[in-house]
């Protein structure tokens, strides 16, 4: 497995080695020993989630109040997503900055984000499916959201899907009503 740290401390990209033959493909999408060596600590697994999205569905920016925070290990099992990680750790030299990784069913990359980092995904084709491992069970009272289109964060969202057609962004009412970075962090 190849490991690449992202531009934000506490976030990594994992690209597995794939093995194929006339039966199909095999790869290890998570391996504790390689994860521990890269990150320096084990991933405590308390919940696993699956999300299926149409092209243009934008989920996030989501994060969990830190502490306790929620770490995630995310991969795409079908289709393609732009996975975006945002540094939401006050006092961090990269607070408010973001980095992204294309997660798809070709390269089979995974992204790990430590607690204190925000997360958003944009589906680049219909039926795209992500699976993610979480270090904390969903706790609604700790769940937080930021506006994915906040100009202060300035995420460069693609406007064209994997098939070359324009994307029409679709967000939940909760995500569309989320505050910007300045408003959210003035409350803390």
So which residues are the catalytic ones?
Answer: 62, 132
CA distance 103 to 91: 29
Q: Where are the alpha helices (DSSP H) in the chain?
A: 32-39, 173-176, 181-186
**Which strands, in side-by-side order, build the sheet including 117-123?**
98-104, 80-87, 117-123, 58-64, 143-145
Q: Is 181 left (phi over 0), alpha (psi -120 to 50) or beta?
A: alpha
CA distance 74 to 72: 6
- Are the C-beta atoms of 131 and 77 separated by less than 8 Å? yes
CB neighbour class for 93 (10 Å; exposed up to 12, middle 13-18, buried from 19): exposed
């Amino acid at each position: 497995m190849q490991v690449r740290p992202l531009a934000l401390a506490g976030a990594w990209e994992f690209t597995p080695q794939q093995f194929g033959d006339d039966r199909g493909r095999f790869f290890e999408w998570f391996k504790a020993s390689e994860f521990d060596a890269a990150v320096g600590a084990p991933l405590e697994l308390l919940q696993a989630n699956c999300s299926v999205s149409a092209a243009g569905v934008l989920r996030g920016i989501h994060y969990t109040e830190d502490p306790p925070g929620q770490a995630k290990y995310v991969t795409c099992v079908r289709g393609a997503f732009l996975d975006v990680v945002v540094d939401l750790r006050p006092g961090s030299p990269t607070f408010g900055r973001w980095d992204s990784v294309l997660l798809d069913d070709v390269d089979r990359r995974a992204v790990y984000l430590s607690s204190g980092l925000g997360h958003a995904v944009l589906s680049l084709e219909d039926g795209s499916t992500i699976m993610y491992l979480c270090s904390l069970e969903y706790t609604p009272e700790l769940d937080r959201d930021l506006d994915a289109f906040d100009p202060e964060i300035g995420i460069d969202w693609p406007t064209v899907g994997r098939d070359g057609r324009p994307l029409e962004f679709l967000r939940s009412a909760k995500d569309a009503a989320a505050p910007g970075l300045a408003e959210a962090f003035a409350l803390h």
